[in-house]
Amino acid sequence: MVTTSELGVAAGFLVGEGSFLLRRRGTIAIYATQAEREPLDRLQRMFGGRVIKIPRPDRPNVKQIWQWYMVKGAAGVLMTLYPLMRTWSPKRVGEVLRCLAAWKTSLGRGHAQLVRRECPQGHPYSAGNTYVSRKGHRHCRACGTTQRRRSDARHRRQLRAASRDPRQSDLI
């Protein structure tokens, strides 16, 4: 069980040492990097995440550096901590709130897409009528067929117009 005063200490630590990032695909990551491992282990015990050794092959004389990072559950941790961060730094809280707002937006979009059962034209996203592009987006086969027919028809109209009007023959 994490006490309120422990949360306060963690919030103060992250105001000074933490980085908050919104990553692609709309997940949040929290990082804290420093030479002393113990405060990072404490964060891991409280919230989860991982503590790793940061290799510094470029500077062999530098003392060992450690990093705590958290992705899964990071948004929940920030939602818990930002009211406590406010007493230390309104500026850092602004960063956290922007991160959370962007996270909620991307979550909303992704979620709505997954739940949607029909394409914008009302065709069902059934197994037979759906194909998934390399980017992972769903596409409606019925709409794809309609689009191909339309562009074929447009092409045929252009060909007919060109054959009637010799000046347009360079359209072919």
- Residue 143 binds to Zn ion (criterion: CB under 5 A): yes
- Dihedral of alpha carbons 128, 134, 140, 143, sign: negative
* Residue 142 sits in the site that holds Zn ion (CB under 5 A): yes
Q: Judged by CB under 5 A, which stretch of 73-81, 100-108, 143-151, 154-162 contacts Zn ion?
A: 143-151
Structure tokens at 126: 């059934």
Nearer to Zn ion, 109 or 139 (CB): 139
Amino acid at site 69: Y
When binding is defined by CB under 5 A, the residue of 123, 138, 159, 162 that contacts Zn ion is 123
Taking the least distance from each CB to Zn ion, the nearer of 14 and 140 is: 140
For residue 28, the tally of other CB atoms under 10 A from its CB is 23
CB of 5 to Zn ion, least distance (A): 57
121 binds Zn ion (CB under 5 A): yes
* Of 43, 70, 99, 140, the one binding Zn ion by CB under 5 A: 140
Give the ranges where the chain is alpha helix by DSSP (H).
4-17, 38-47, 74-85, 90-115, 141-164
- In this structure, are residues 65 and 33 in contact, taking their beta carbons and an 8 Å threshold? yes
Contact 21, 27 (CB under 8 A): no
Q: Is 51 helix (H, G, I), strand (E, B) or coil?
A: strand
Segment interacting with Zn ion, rule: CB under 5 A, options 56-64, 100-108, 140-148, 153-161: 140-148
Interface residues with Zn ion (CB under 5 A)? 119, 121, 123, 140, 142-143
